[in-house]
Structure 1
Amino acid sequence: MTLHCTHPHLEQICHQGRVNTSDVLGVKNSDLVPGKYEGGLKLWEGSLDLVKTLNSDIKDDRLLMEGKHVLELGCGHGLPGIFAGLKGAALVHFQDFNAEVLRCLTIPNVKANLFKESSETSRSVGFYAGDWSEIDKLLLRGDAVQDKTTNLHTENEGHRGYNIILMAETVYALDSLPSLYRLIKKCLHYPSGVVYMAGKKHYFGVGGGTRQFLRLVTEDGAMQSDLLAEVTDGSSNVREVWKFSFK
């Protein structure tokens, strides 16, 4: 299955959000600017690793996507969330730190892949910008950033949590891991919800990594962890895909 990534028409987009477009796109030679830009415009390897793992679990009947409520955290391009929609998810929410990333990148990609025909109205899609420490109030209430040119929206009704939470390359910063884990436990449907996480084993220079997040989960004791894939292709640091579920 092919996922199409569109490139934003930068000169046509200037929406108020966490920062403005010129601030985000003016960042040079840096993947991260704390408090301003969290790397959402870059296509990270973990997104592709996550899609491959999801596809494998679906083919092997270890994962059912049809009719599920799915959340992608730190979405950027949104490829895992888009894949979930293509595989039949009934609701897909995309979250990113920067509203501009959602406007310029995520929404165009979702339009190109999930809403190729205007008659497609069977799935609900929403976009949320904000910090992990506070975004749960919006996610669980259902107040999404709407794109008024299409039928991309979520109903303004609460729901009982997400069946599946997806995240790729979200565990790079050590100080953000507690907020991320608390958000997952608040938003994941209990007791059957699952989390799929792709990321690098270590993020040199910023202190985070999959093993640091795993340690946090293990110390808390509420969820079990399963390693699904390890990628050692020599092109980057060792990458992993993990699955978390309630005990």
Structure 2
Amino acid sequence: RPSRRREAYLSATYAELPHAMEKTEAKKPTPASPLFSFSNPSASFGFGFGAAPGPPPPPLPPAVEVLLSEESPVAAGNLEPVVVDDSLSIYKGRVNTSDVFGVKNSDLVPGKYEGGLKLWEGSLDLVKTLNSDIKDDRLLMEGKHVLELGCGHGLPGIYAGLKGAGLVHFQDFNAEVLRCLTIPNVKANLLKKSSQGTSTSRSIGFYAGDWSEIDKLLLCGDAVQDKITNLRTENEGYRGYDIILMAETVYALDSLPSLYRLVKKVNIRDLPLLFFLPLL
């Protein structure tokens, strides 16, 4: 069955169908039109069923780095534990979508809000998968460079940091999600552990924007990465990522080309990457 995030996307898309159908019924089909057409990606569905083109998509937000100091107080005091196993819990915030985006009763608004404030169950499944693989010696996280795409709460990336990843980058479509949720979650878990003397990731970065435009920020992200432990040396260059984490991130097939191009661009060493995507 589709993931819950894809179901939310389909629900938001189908909500606009009656209006499109009214426009379609007002037009007579052209007999010479082919049954299928893939040449007009802006048409509804893209399969040539005669549906009127929808409104143009909203402009993409600019790709930006979000600093650790840009934390929003929205999630303050709303931490709750997520139990990973008997010895580990990860703390997460809870943020109301209407408080941040002015959107009520919606998990997803394509092009505006990509669902990052909701804790999707695939994220929890991914954390448990990582935990199981590390316990069974199938995965070593220590010192690895990790990128979490479409991070939202950032629980998988936080888990990687708790297990000693050398670098963790968090990426989300919306900068507001990073400020209001991801950064507070990272501070509640990784900074707390660091202050207690526990080993955590030495470099952490937060990046907002669409996959089609975020690669340049990720490629130069090491230049301003020293935000937690100040252990990075000036002569240490960018080495790319060893592990890329994603959980219920791809819900629309037309986003796959951008994802593919992003992965190719940030993998500058052209080495095999380890992906973790729980089955959805």
TM range (shorter): 0.5 to 0.7
1:134 aligned residue (187, 194, 213): 213
CA displacement at 1:127 relative to structure 2: 0.3
Matched residues in 1 for 2:272 and 2:125: separation?
23
Q: Across the two proteins, how many residue pairs are aligned to each other?
A: 187
Matched residues in 1 for 2:216 and 2:143: separation?
23
Matched residues in 1 for 2:252 and 2:181: separation?
23
Is 1:78–2:154 an aligned residue pair?
yes
2:264 aligned residue (176, 181, 185): 185
Decide whether the 8 Å contact of 2:151 with 2:170 is kept in 1.
yes
Aligned match of 2:277:
197
Is 1:64–2:140 an aligned residue pair?
yes
CA displacement at 1:139 relative to structure 2: 0.3
Matched residues in 2 for 1:5 and 1:38: separation?
19
User: Aligned-residue CA RMSD in angstroms?
Assistant: 2.9
Structure 1 pair 79/25, CA: closer, same or farther in 2 (3 Å)? same
Answer with 1 or 2: which has the greater Rg: 2
Aligned match of 2:255:
176
Aligned match of 2:26:
none
Aligned match of 2:102:
26
Structure 1 unaligned blocks of 5 or more: 11-20, 201-247
Runs of 4 or more off by more than 6 Å in structure 1?
A: 143-147, 152-157
The letter of the residue matching 1:58 is I
TM-score by length of 2: 0.60
Is 1:151–2:228 an aligned residue pair?
yes
Instruction: Between 136-145 and 177-186, report the one with greater CA deviation.
Output: 136-145
Decide whether the 8 Å contact of 2:146 with 2:242 is kept in 1.
yes
Decide whether the 8 Å contact of 1:85 with 1:114 is kept in 2.
yes
Decide whether the 8 Å contact of 1:50 with 1:168 is kept in 2.
yes
Matched residues in 2 for 1:168 and 1:67: separation?
22
1:95 aligned residue (154, 168, 171): 171
Aligned match of 1:5:
92
Is 1:35–2:111 an aligned residue pair?
yes
Matched residues in 2 for 1:85 and 1:139: separation?
18
Matched residues in 1 for 2:177 and 2:225: separation?
14
Decide whether the 8 Å contact of 1:76 with 1:102 is kept in 2.
yes
Structure 1 pair 146/28, CA: closer, same or farther in 2 (3 Å)? farther
Name which structure has the greater RCO, CA cutoff 8 Å, separation 6+: 2
The letter of the residue matching 2:221 is G
Structure 1 pair 170/158, CA: closer, same or farther in 2 (3 Å)? farther
Task: Report the structure, 1 or 2, having the larger strand content.
Answer: 1
Instruction: Between 123-132 and 183-192, report the one with greater CA deviation.
Output: 183-192
CA displacement at 1:90 relative to structure 2: 0.8
The letter of the residue matching 2:92 is C
